[in-house]
Structure 1
Amino acid sequence: MSEGGVQGTVAEGFEGVREEFDAVFAEGITESGAQLAAYVNGQQVVDLWAGDGMAGDSLTGVYSVTKGAAHLVVALLVQDGLLELDREVASYWPQFAAEGKDRLTLRELLGHRAGLIGVDGGFSTEELADDRLLAARLAGLRPYWEPGTAYGYHAFVIGALTGEVVRRVTGRSIQELYEERVRAPYGLDFHLGLPEALESRYLDVLPMRTTPEQLAELRADAPAPDSLMAIAFGLNADPPTDLVELANTRTVRALGQASAGGVGNARGVAAMYAAAISEVDGRAPMLKPDTIAEFARLYSVGTDVVTGEEDQFGLGFQALGVRYPFLGEDAFGHGGAAGAQAFADPASGVAYGYVRRRFPFPPGGGSVENDRLAAAVVRAATA
C-alpha cells in the first residue's frame, strides 16, 4: 500500500504522465487516494496510484462510471440486433406506456429524455440499491416533462430503466450480462455487484473537505427541494440521499445498481474501455466502428434541465470530445460523482481510467485534474 507517494509504472514515452500525476499529488489533490490507468491500442501503458492506504488493486465506489458499463451492454445488444434504438420502450415493456410515455423510443431513453428522473418524496438508500424495484415504481408514473422534448440527467435511475428493457428482451439483468460478456472474459476489476470475497479490498469513499467559505457556497447553491435537481439526486427524500453513504452501503455494492452502484479501480475501468475499442489478449474489439459512431455521436446537447448546466450526451455515454478538445469526436465514456473519469478515444486508441476516493470541491463527475492527466496520456500516445 502507498504511504503517501506515487507508486506504479509507466511505459517508455509516458514519463510525462507520471510527472503530471506527481504534480497533482504534490498539490494535495490525491492525498486521500487516487489511481490512474491507461491503455493504448489494447496495451497497458500507465498504472499509477497514490495516497495513504491506496494500492493499485484497491476498490472503491465509482458512481456514474457505472453507467458506462451498463450501456456497453446495451450497445452490444443493439449490435447483436436484439434491441432497436428507434423502437418504443413500451413495445418491450408495456407498463412503461402509462402517463404519456408510450411513444418514447429507446434512443430517447438513452439520451436522458424520458423525464422520469425520480419520484416525489425520493427513494431510500435500500430502494436505490435495487434496479428492479426502481423500474417497477417508475413505470407507471407521470414524467416531469413531456418525454422526448428535453433532456435532463437521470442520475440514479437511467440504469434501472434501460436495464428493465434489457431484462424484458433477454430475461437477464444488465448486471448478469455485464458479468458474462464483459467482466469475466477480461478479468476486469470493475464490478456491477461486488462479491463478498472482495470486500477486504474496498476503501470507503470519503466526503469532501471544505473551508467555511466553501461550505457557505455549497449551502447558498443548494437546489430547492421541489426542483428537478433535487428530485433527480434524491435531495427531496427524508433524509436526503447521501452520496457517500450510498457507495459505502454493502447492499448497494452487492446489487451493483446500474446507474451508480459499481465498484472498481482505475485498472478495471480503463481495461473495459480498452476491450471496447481495441484487440485485448487476442480478442477482437467488443464494439464495431459503426456501433461506436452510433453511441458516441452527439445526441442530447445544450442546457440540461435537471442540472442547469451545458452538457453533451451520446446514447447512454457522455460524448467527451467537446469537454476534452484533445479527444476525437467519437470519444465516449462517463465520469463519476467522486471525480472519477473513464473513456475510450478511438482516434488515438487511448482507454483511460481515473478513480479517486475523496469527493472534490466543487463536487461533480470528472474532477478538474482529469483535464491535465487525460491530456498527458493522449499527448504521449500520439507523440
Structure 2
Amino acid sequence: MNAPISSSPATAAPSAASVHGTVDARFAAVREELAAVAREEPGLSAQLAVRLHGRQVADLWTGPGVTGDSLFALYSSGKGAAHLVTALLVQDGVVDLDRPVARDWPEFAAAGKAGLTLRDLLAHRAGLLGTPEGLSSAELADERRLAELLAPLPPAWAPGSGYGYHAFTVTALTGEVVRRATGRTLQEHYAERLRVPYGLDFHLGLPETEEPRYLPAQPAPAAAAGPVPAGLTALAFNTHADPPTDLVAYANTRGVRAGGSASSASVGTARGLAKLYAAAISPVDGRAPLLGPEVLAEFTTPHSPGVDLVTGERDHFLLGFEAQGVRYGSLSARAFGHSGAVGAQSFADPATGLAYSYTRRHFTPVGGGGAPENHRLIAAVTTAIRREGRSAR
C-alpha cells in the first residue's frame, strides 16, 4: 500500500544496519543518517517517511520484523490529526475558536470555567489535566467518559494565568465541543474527511482487521531512574493514580486501540502521518491543500508563551499543535505537528513544503517528546532541501 514515489530512487543494497525502503537520490544522506542511528541503537525498530511539496521523497524502515506497513502505537501523535480536524471545522465555520465552550456544553461552566473558549482548550490553558484521584485505563481510553468526568472540576490554575500540556485530556475536551456542535465525534470526522479519502494508514480507532500488522509497543532499555513526577506533571500523566498508568501496557490493550483516543491511543505508520501533514499544506492525490492561508496562519501562530507548567518546555504550543521550530532549529517558526510518547515525531513546515514523520516501536530512555535522533534526521532532511534549492537556482 502507499507505494513510494521516487523519480531517482537509491538502488544500493540495504546498509549494514538493514535500512530498507526507497529514497530520492537527492535525499540519500537521510538513509545514511537513519542507518547510523540504527547502528548506535541495536534492535531499533523505526520508520521514516518524508514528503516535499506533497511528493514522497523518503520511505524507510529498520528493525526486526518491521516493514513500511507495520503499525506502531503512536500515542499523542493522534493529537495532530485531531487538531487538523478542528482546524478544518473552524475553516468551515462549524465551530468558533472564541465561542465560550459552555454555550455548547453547559455542564462545562461549573467551577469558574464559563468564560473558557475552544481556543483556550486548544492552547492547553484550561487547567483540566486529570482528576484528583487519578483515572483508570478504561477512563483514559474513553474520551466521552473523560469529558464527563472533567466538566465539573475547577481548573488547576486561574484562567489566563498559565498553560500546561493536557497529555491525556486535550482531545477529550475539544472533541466534546466538536460533538456538541456537529453531532459527530472527532474520530468520525477524521475518518470521513481525512483517513478514508486520502487512504491514510494512521488510525484513531484501529479496526480488528488491521490487528495482524500491529507490533506491540516495547519499553525502553533499562536506564537510571529519574525523579518521580509530582504536582501538575503527575496529574497530567496520571502517575498519581493507583496504579500509575503504564503506557506500554495501555497501548498494548486491544480495547484501547479500538477506542481510538486521539490524545493517547493512535496507531499507524510513518507513511500515514507524513501524508496527513503533507495534505494539510500541499497538493496531494490531486486535491488542493486542506488548510487555507487564513486558518493555517491562525493555527501556526504561537499561543502559549513562557514555561509549560507540566513539561517545563518554553513556548511549547502554537494553536493545538506543538511548535516544532522551537525544538528543531532548522525548521521555520511556523512548523507545526506533534510528538508521541514512544519518541515519534511528525510535522509539516509551510515555509519549505516539508512533511516529516518518524515512528518508533521502543520507548527511549530519556522519554518525552520526540526521540533524540529526530534532531539528526531532521537536520539531514533540511540540509538536503537547502541543497536542492541551491541546485534549482
CA distance in 2, matches of 1:98, 1:151: 19
Q: Identify the residue that residue 223 of structure 1 maps to in structure 2.
A: 229
1:195 aligns with 2:199: no
Regions of 4+ moved over 6 Å: none
Deviations 1:165-210 (A, max 9, x none): 0000110000000000010000000000000000000011100112
1:364 aligns with 2:368: yes
- The Cα of 1:292 is off from its aligned counterpart by 1.3
CA distance in 1, matches of 2:113, 2:147: 14
- The Cα of 1:311 is off from its aligned counterpart by 4.2
Q: Identify the residue that residue 376 of structure 1 maps to in structure 2.
A: 380
- The Cα of 1:307 is off from its aligned counterpart by 2.2
TM alignment of 1:136-147, pairs within 5 A? 136-147=148-159
Count residues in correspondence: 373
Q: Identify the residue that residue 301 of structure 1 maps to in structure 2.
A: 305
TM-score (norm 1): 0.95
Give 3-state SS (helix, strand or coil) of 2:61's partner: strand
Q: Identify the residue that residue 81 of structure 1 maps to in structure 2.
A: 93
Identity of aligned residues (%): 60
- The Cα of 1:269 is off from its aligned counterpart by 0.6
Of 258, 261, 265, which aligns to 1:257? 261
- The Cα of 1:12 is off from its aligned counterpart by 2.1
1:314 aligns with 2:326: no
1:63 aligns with 2:75: yes
1:10 aligns with 2:40: no
Amino acid at match of 1:5: S
TM alignment of 1:31-180, pairs within 5 A? 31-180=43-192
Amino acid at match of 1:82: V
CA distance in 1, matches of 2:44, 2:36: 15
- The Cα of 1:247 is off from its aligned counterpart by 1.0
Q: Is the 8 A contact 2:38 2:44 kept in 1?
A: no
Q: Identify the residue that residue 240 of structure 1 maps to in structure 2.
A: 244
CA distance in 1, matches of 2:229, 2:190: 35
Q: Which runs of 5+ in 2 are unaligned?
A: 1-13, 388-393
CA distance in 1, matches of 2:251, 2:160: 31
Amino acid at match of 2:19: V
Q: Identify the residue that residue 292 of structure 1 maps to in structure 2.
A: 296
Q: Is the 8 A contact 1:4 1:52 kept in 2?
A: no
> 104-113 or 170-179: which moved more?
104-113
- The Cα of 1:154 is off from its aligned counterpart by 0.4
CA distance in 1, matches of 2:181, 2:334: 28
CA distance in 2, matches of 1:282, 1:273: 15
Q: Is the 8 A contact 1:104 1:148 kept in 2?
A: no
TM-score (norm 2): 0.93
CA distance in 2, matches of 1:140, 1:111: 20
Of 340, 355, 358, which aligns to 1:354? 358
Deviations 1:111-130 (A, max 9, x none): 00000000011111111110
Deviations 1:338-373 (A, max 9, x none): 100000001111100000011001111211100111
Alpha carbons of 1:4 and 1:125: their partners in 2 closer, same or farther (altered >3 Å)?
A: farther
Cα-Cα RMSD: 1.3
Deviations 1:99-144 (A, max 9, x none): 0000011111110000000001111111111000000111111111
Amino acid at match of 1:66: G
Q: Is the 8 A contact 1:271 1:351 kept in 2?
A: yes
